[in-house]
Structure 1
Amino acid sequence: MATFPTPPRWMRRGPLREGAFRPNLHDERTASLIGTALGIAFTVCFVTGFISHELQLQRPPTWLPLPTHPVWFYRFTQGLHVATGLAAIPLLLAKLWTVYPRLFSWPPVKSLLNALERLSIGVLVACAVFELVTGLLNIAQWYPWHFPFTATHFWIAWIAFGSLLLHVAIKAPAIARGLRNRPAPDAEGALAAADGADADGATVPEAASARRGTVSRRVLMGSTAFAVLAVTATTIGQSVTSLRWLDFLGVRSPHDGPQEVPINRTAAQAGVVASAFHPDWALEVDGPRPYRLSLAELRAMPQYHSRLPIACVEGWSVDADWEGVRLRDLLARAGIPTGSLIRIISLEKVGYGQTVMQHEYADDPATLLALKLNGETLSIDHGYPARVIAPARPGVLQTKWVQRLELIIL
């Protein structure tokens, strides 16, 4: 293997000088502890994000049984996805802090294997930063880019998670060693003293004196834990409504919105105000026995009540009382058999103007074509004259301003 000369004296300054970094802040144990917490957060975030992606597909998932009960299933998984993603931000910053001195190690590349390892770490860091930044902006519904967020976020997540698994496999011995080894009470002082003399000839006492009052490992770990808890506590209220009084940093607060339910898209933005209030509006149901129902005829049918959460991909969710006609009754009247795939068509012509509903939702008695919300007629922004609400389904697929239901023949 090729040998690398010691860097010249003029280069051995700043971060390149010997003893430039405190070993107890950038050592193996600190990196292992923070890295393990970050790895757990990323794994939970990846798994829950994958579930969310599958539930939003406009086709039946090939592997995931669609759980309509408990009704809060999607609310829980998506809330956990957003919470762990936010918690991963201070963890990633702390992890990068513990390992950044290795950018200045000499030689910069020791072998081909070392070069590949450093390249994989670069991919991991880039993907992790991309996922966290774009996810945070998605929560705020700000999209200063021209690529499709959902697809890009999903596939970069696979690259990030694959890079994470590769990194863990390569660093497994070092991680295990760092988690297992606990320095003696005076070990940190000994490490600092051993690394005290720098390239310019500073003595150990001088170096130790210069370091007095600097951050210890315990302070670094405690500060990181506090940051994670603070971020989680001040945002979790958007998903856990009993903690909404703590929701200082959440973009959407539960009960902020018409009829005490938040909205992401108004009727004016969707361009449906005129058509929704048109006196000739009628629900069309297409099947073996197609028919049309006016709003008055829908209100004359047996009305059912469901208390279901509406949960958005941005992380906010809230329970609400919905009242309307059971969707399976409407489908049965048109001769559509149970177990069918249904297309729901909205008055909205863009975005999710058409959605596909799998039979698990369509056949569930809790799934309604809702006409009322929290005891009042649906507001226009919540989907007047009628909207779909189903248990454990992503909010983006709870179609508003419904115009037509139809059987999909495969």
Structure 2
Amino acid sequence: MPFTSPPRGGPPVTFKGRLHDARTATAIGRWLGPAMVVCFVTGVLSHYLQHPPVWLADRLPSHPSWGYRVTQGLHVIFGIAAIPLLLAKLWAVYPRLFAWPPVRSLRHGLERLSVAVLVAAGIFELFTGLLNTFQWYPWPFSFVAVHYAVAWVLVGALLLHLAVQWPRIRDHWSLRSAGTRALPAADGPDRRQLLGAVAAGVGAVTLTTAGQSVTALGALDLFAPRSPEHGPQGLPVNRTAAAAAVGEAVLADWRLTVDGPRPYSLTLDELRAMPQHEVTLPIACVEGWSKSARWTGVRVRDLLERAGAGPGARVRVVSLEASGAYRVMEMGRTYTQDPLTLLALRLGGEVLSLDHGYPARIIAPNRPGVLQTKWVGRLEVL
């Protein structure tokens, strides 16, 4: 049956498409809701790993070493999958967005408010997150701070929407729900075809983009913005040495400075003469791509111990790059004391390339890629 809404002062707006009903919206919502929850939980984890408050900095776990690779991979995979789900959900409910009068009661007003905020926040989060995977920021605000803040707005609006709409959701949740008896029986096959098409679209989008995070799907990685197989020394690069303004002039007479109770400095040859350790750890970036690699270098805890730092010491890492949000990075004691945390000098058995942080970079377990600082010039014991 067509949906007709008579706006004030104009002819009715008629929606002739079928299946614009609560049953279809609820069926799609069963998929969209969990996807949003996964995105929110993994997004909060990512935010606190990147920007931990003081009370949490020394409690962040360094294991499992692949933890961030999994959580951020899920964040991006479910975020991309949620885009076709959100579009399908909006298609199912959009006639209600034009209902008139706009507010008929307090409950209806809350429903309309929750829908407006929910739709706006959902579109903002998914599409700005998608552009972030391409490292394209056509807006004047800080993506990290605003994306994180709007995520909480989205969750609040979602909870309000569920509370207001729960009777209708309950009536249409299962095939045997009482509310389905009021729906035309002929809509059943069409609804199944619609949901099948939506599922196929979500599956296609997921399979052709998840390869940047899931190694087994690498051969199907057709539309992801980054392939983990492409890059110098077999590993992708987000920020090049040229972009960071690190060149021969900056690296001339390079020495590593370690500032602590017993400060000292080391040349590259002196670093290479120290005991070298080899670890296999992934680089996992906030944009969703990740890949494991073999790293060789000096344990950070050995460098700090030589400077007189105790076992509970934290460290501030300062890069040679001239500017950037992550030029200075701090690590809590769970990372500094972990034997897998290295000041890496080699990648895959070869000397680090300049784009991968030559002469030295940090590699640590269960850390976002933006915190695996490149072109390290200084370690400060805190």
Within 1, Cα distance between the matches of 2:221 and 2:39? 21
**Structure 1 residues 189 and 376, CA, compared in 2 at 3 Å: closer, same or farther?**
same
> Cα offset for 1:103?
2.4
Superposition pairs of residues 62-141 of structure 1, within 5 angstroms: 62=56, 65-141=59-135
Q: In the comparison of the two structures, how many residue pairs are matched? A: 376
The separation in 1 between residues aligned to 2:348 and 2:250, in whole angstroms, is 20
Judge conservation of contact 1:60–1:358 (CA < 8 Å) in 2: no
Distance 1:50 1:43, change over 3 A: same
Match of 1:166 in 2: 160
Alignment map for 1:8-407 (pairs within 5 Å) = 11-12=11-12, 14-15=14-15, 20-22=16-18, 25-57=19-51, 59-60=53-54, 62=56, 65-182=59-176, 190=185, 216-275=190-249, 277-278=251-252, 280-351=253-324, 352-407=326-381
How far does residue 186 in structure 1 lie from its aligned partner after superposition? 10
Deviations 1:339-397 (Å, cap 9, x if unpaired)? 11210011012111110111111100000000000110000000000000000001000
CA apart distance, 1:67: 1.9
Contact 2:254 2:268 in 1 (8 A): yes
Equivalents in 2 of 1:232, 1:343: separation in Å?
A: 38
Letter in 2 for 1:104: F
Which amino acid in structure 1 is aligned with residue 75 of structure 2?
H
Please say which structure displays the higher CA radius of gyration: 1
What's the CA shift for 1:277? 3.5
Shift of 1:265: 0.7
The 8 Å contact of residues 371 and 378 in structure 1, kept in 2 or not, is answered as yes
* Structure 1 pair 10–295 and aligned structure 2 pair: CA distance change class (3 A): closer
Structure 1 residues 371 and 6, CA, compared in 2 at 3 Å: closer, same or farther?
closer
Structure 1 residues 61, 133: closer, same or farther in 2, change over 3 A? farther
User: What TM-score comes out, normalization by structure 2 length?
Assistant: 0.93
For residues 334 and 342 of structure 1, the distance between their equivalents in structure 2, rounded to whole angstroms, comes to 11
Question: 1:106 deviation in Å?
Answer: 4.2
The code of the aligned residue for 1:48 comes to: T
Q: How well do the aligned residues superpose, as a CA RMSD in angstroms? A: 2.4
User: Residue type of the partner of 2:85?
Assistant: L
Structure 1 residue 27: Cα displacement: 2.1
Task: Give 1:259's aligned amino acid.
Answer: Q
CA shift for structure 1 position 104: 3.4
Query: 1:221 and 1:8 mapped to 2: Cα distance?
Result: 34
Q: Measure how far apart 1:252 and its partner are.
A: 0.9
Displacement of 1:120: 1.6
SS in 1 for 2:311: coil
* Deviation by residue 1:206-257 (Cα, 9 ceiling, x = unmatched): xxxxxxxxx9211110111011111111111101122211110111101210
Query: What is the aligned-residue identity percentage?
Result: 58
The TM-score normalised by the length of structure 1 is 0.87
C-alpha separation in 2, matches of 1:7 and 1:53 = 44
For residues 59 and 220 of structure 1, the distance between their equivalents in structure 2, rounded to whole angstroms, comes to 46
**Residue identity in the other structure for 1:227:** G
Q: Distance in 1 between matches of 2:57 and 2:374?
A: 28
Contact 1:284 1:405 in 2 (8 A): yes
Looking at structure 1, the residues matched to 223 and 24 of structure 2 have their Cα atoms a distance apart, in angstroms, of: 29
Unaligned runs of 5+ in 2: none
Partner AA of 1:304 in structure 2: H
SS of residue paired to 1:269: coil
Counterpart residue type for residue 60 of structure 2 = L
- In the alignment, the residues of structure 1 paired with residue 22 and residue 203 of structure 2 have an alpha-carbon distance, to the nearest angstrom, of 24
Unaligned runs of 5+ in 1: 193-214
2:172 aligns to what SS in structure 1? Answer: helix
Q: Deviation of residue 108 (structure 1)?
A: 3.4
| TM-fit CA distance, 1:21 | 4.3
SS in 2 for 1:372: strand
Q: Is the 8 Å Cα contact of residues 71 and 392 (structure 1) preserved in structure 2?
A: yes
Aligned AA for 1:361? Y
Deviation of the 1:65 alpha carbon = 3.9
Counterparts of 2:164 and 2:134, CA distance in 1: 36
Which range moved further: 177-186 or 143-152?
177-186
